[in-house]
Structure 1
Amino acid sequence: DVCSSDLEIAKRMEKICPDAWFLNYTNPLTKICEAINRLTSIKFVGLCHGILAGKHQLSQFLEMNEEDLEVKASGLNHITWFQSIKDKNTGEDLYPKLKSR
């Protein structure tokens, strides 16, 4: 099972460090988080690189440096919603520019 090693770590954490957080940055992210939630008492968070990859793609679409973008985003394992896309230097809302492309 793809979750067995992560689940084994979480179960060890219950004994060794029950107040620690399990930070999951591996796939299948949702399945691993669900298993840890259902089968252990460990606090956890699942982290996905999707927002960073999306920001990189936005910078290419907008022909801007990635460092000049300010985004607010949320999502679920590779599914990202950008609530806000702004020019970090001017505060300009970049959604209209993105939609015009």
Structure 2
Amino acid sequence: MNGALATSICPRLGSGFRLQWEPAQNCHVLLYPEGMVKLNGSAGEIMVRCDGARSLAAIVGELETAFNASGLQPEVLSFVEIAGRQKWLTWE
């Protein structure tokens, strides 16, 4: 996971993590044996799309369409890189 991420990678949840919507928290949370990470809205929207089938390019495109925005790629790549370092996400 060194260097810049390629937009062709297909990130997925890391081993031992489970993503779910938590109504009580009104947000997505990432559950793991030692605890829980409460995700902000943007992080949750990115994480739900990281299913191992969608490429980063496809995820960015979906987010830009869903939120009528453009230029989201740098932020998405930055989040995915951080999530990879935390082991929340993995890819080949």
TM-score (norm 2): 0.26
Structure richer in strand, relative to its length: 1
Structure richer in helix, relative to its length: 1
Greater RCO (Cα-Cα under 8 Å, separation 6 or more): 2
TM-score (norm 1): 0.24
Greater C-alpha radius of gyration:
1
